[in-house]
Structure 1
């Protein structure tokens, strides 16, 4: 492990597939097998650092990680409930600082990157196969009264998890396939895996994941080759039309789900969409009362009811054969940017936006074969943050992606002759 710590990073990705059972979503802390693996990676790299090895952290990366840490600490100290915010601070530092820095340090060559991307593909194939079976056999989570929603091993209380894992795997498979020589079996295998994963992604009925994947694939293909991007866009569109329209694989439900994205008024309004907009309004109202350092990590759920519009629902419906019917409380604004603004104020917003923008610009500008994968996965995360935030079993995967993006976008200088590698 000390010679190739990327194995632990890959294990972190794969361990998200381990079922955790139905969780109490209101609990302060959830620790999964993937979380433990990520912390083991942090500990391993700490040992490596004590042994005198440079961890490859560039000055700009260290500055950005430091800014995020300081912003979270300031929000915690000035929180309306510092004791509750402390657990949120620890989680934020884990997700946005410690694990990304450890992943960055673990990626020492392109073999390490292939290991991590391959783990994303394998995890996606596992979850995608389970999800496709759930849709075809009607054993998934409830959607429009039918048990057809693909959720993989994550259950109805974490309906977004499978779609995220499958999206990451699709992007990783596409990047790995395009990096191989034309006509090779590795190229064909990567592209075939990406094509297969499109189906479980479709029957996850996750509008956010569809949009984020479309943006991620576009960014990946443009980064790899603009002319190839246009060609693959046409092939992809044709494949979707054949699979969904011609073969009828979830076509009616997928079309209905797409139409619901903008339905927030009138007789056909989608309450999950209107609730999300109301949660954003709530986050803005909380920020208006705590503009500089925010109300503190994990304070949104305490202040929600006093700042929310009256029409906001008390929770979202969830159902499957295991839990029956239940209502899941709305404990966050379902938008990472509004979550940071309400809980960490302008200080946090500047720190996080600076971090994300630096990664995006660096990944887009730097040439090289690893660029498409780093840029595509990063774009998925940044777009998904427009209508989702951290939380759930697969949150640690966001950390791994941020680590990969930082490794590529903000590389450390090459060590001089005689310096430790």
Structure 2
């Protein structure tokens, strides 16, 4: 019996996209099977609009690698090109709004389980600090909840993507009655986990994406946002208030405010010195101290210095300005295309496009505060979302 390569590719693409939220291993294995099925079955490949920008990004990365002082150390970034194939696989296999519907359901299920695990971790950390007589804030900021992940930034980025896509489905997708009940239970858990992860940049990014959705859904609901935010601030635990206030009143080096000044300004110095090809993949960390501005003390604040906590600064410092502009152009142009299609009317695909716009807004805003596209899990979910939404958008515009 001849294998049904079309069906294999479809289910593996959907499975790869869904598993981005819970398991890197499952995502990459399913992606490999999907790509193999497409090749063996000689199935047609769809390429995204503005694929030329991605080609520039890939080629410039290789040039930057070749010109760096340690090309071998940058090979992990070349291997990460495999993750980018998620975009092509999902775009080629998923073409209907119903496909994205099930992707949203799968992400909500995985995100909810991860959120529950994160809330369990929060309770344990709270109890442990109380039992030891320690100040919770000082003990928690450096060791926050991570859900199924290894870091709280990854966890928060996943919660943001799940929340924004599922809100779009709730507002415009008319989910089934049983699913609406599930959403009513699960979405608050995801939102609570995101809040308790204490990731300030993700709070801002999620807020901007959610404001876009609310404005497009029912504009009057935007007025409720500051009221709800104030209520959460006033009624929340003291540690949450401290975290919010740390935006303008940091607790010394406990918060990353000074650290962010160092990575931002040092990154600018790297770009000034190497604007075309950067320092090379994975070379920002080893050369960081060489580019610290003269007016900053040489003693570094506590923090992680292997990347620059900003996709715009990091890509430019690591691979050169052309690489950074190429990859950002791809995402920004894709976002603009979706907005234009929504302006012309999208019919049943509206919720898919609204969710895609919100996700890209969130990812690009979060990129101002974190190197989120360097994180495999966030990169995978972002590419899966772009592929799925672009597939539906293309099918909708051709119908």
Task: Choose from 353, 358, 381 the match for 1:400.
Answer: 381
Paired residues of 1:335 and 1:385 also in contact (CA < 8 A)? yes
Structure 1 residues 304 and 41, CA, compared in 2 at 3 Å: closer, same or farther? same
Structure number having the greater strand percentage = 1
Matched, 1:64 2:58: no
Give the match for residue 323 of structure 2.
Answer: 348
Relative to structure 2, which stretch is displaced further, 142-151 or 371-380?
142-151
Structure 1 residues 339 and 243, CA, compared in 2 at 3 Å: closer, same or farther? closer
- Residue ranges of structure 2 left out of the alignment (5+ in a row): 1-7, 130-134, 343-349
> What TM-score, normalized by structure 1, do the two folds share?
0.78
The whole-number CA distance in structure 1 between the counterparts of 2:89 and 2:176 is: 36
Q: What are the equivalent positions in structure 2 for 1:79-118 lying under 5 Å apart?
A: 79-91=68-80, 93-95=81-83, 97-118=84-105
Task: Choose from 264, 273, 278 the match for 2:262.
Answer: 278
The whole-number CA distance in structure 2 between the counterparts of 1:102 and 1:396 is: 16
> RCO higher in 1 or 2 (8 Å CA, sep ≥ 6)?
2
Give the match for residue 55 of structure 1.
Answer: 45
Q: Tell me the CA shift for residue 390 of structure 1.
A: 4.0
- Residue ranges of structure 1 left out of the alignment (5+ in a row): 17-33, 317-327, 417-421
Give the match for residue 19 of structure 1.
Answer: none
Matched, 1:77 2:66: yes
The count of residues paired between Structure 1 and Structure 2 equals 375
Give the match for residue 153 of structure 1.
Answer: 147
The whole-number CA distance in structure 1 between the counterparts of 2:89 and 2:246 is: 40
Structure 1 residues 101 and 143, CA, compared in 2 at 3 Å: closer, same or farther? farther
Structure 1 residues 354 and 263, CA, compared in 2 at 3 Å: closer, same or farther? same
Q: Tell me the CA shift for residue 213 of structure 1.
A: 0.5
Could you say what the CA RMSD is over the residues aligned between the two structures, in angstroms? Answer: 3.2
Structure 1 residues 409 and 44, CA, compared in 2 at 3 Å: closer, same or farther? closer
Q: Tell me the CA shift for residue 238 of structure 1.
A: 4.2
Structure 1 residues 14 and 408, CA, compared in 2 at 3 Å: closer, same or farther? closer
Structure 1 residues 414 and 67, CA, compared in 2 at 3 Å: closer, same or farther? farther
Give the match for residue 346 of structure 2.
Answer: none
Relative to structure 2, which stretch is displaced further, 362-371 or 288-297?
362-371
Structure number having the greater helix percentage = 2
Task: Choose from 121, 141, 147 the match for 1:134.
Answer: 121
Deviations 1:143-173 (A, max 9, x none): 5334486513357x62322222222222232
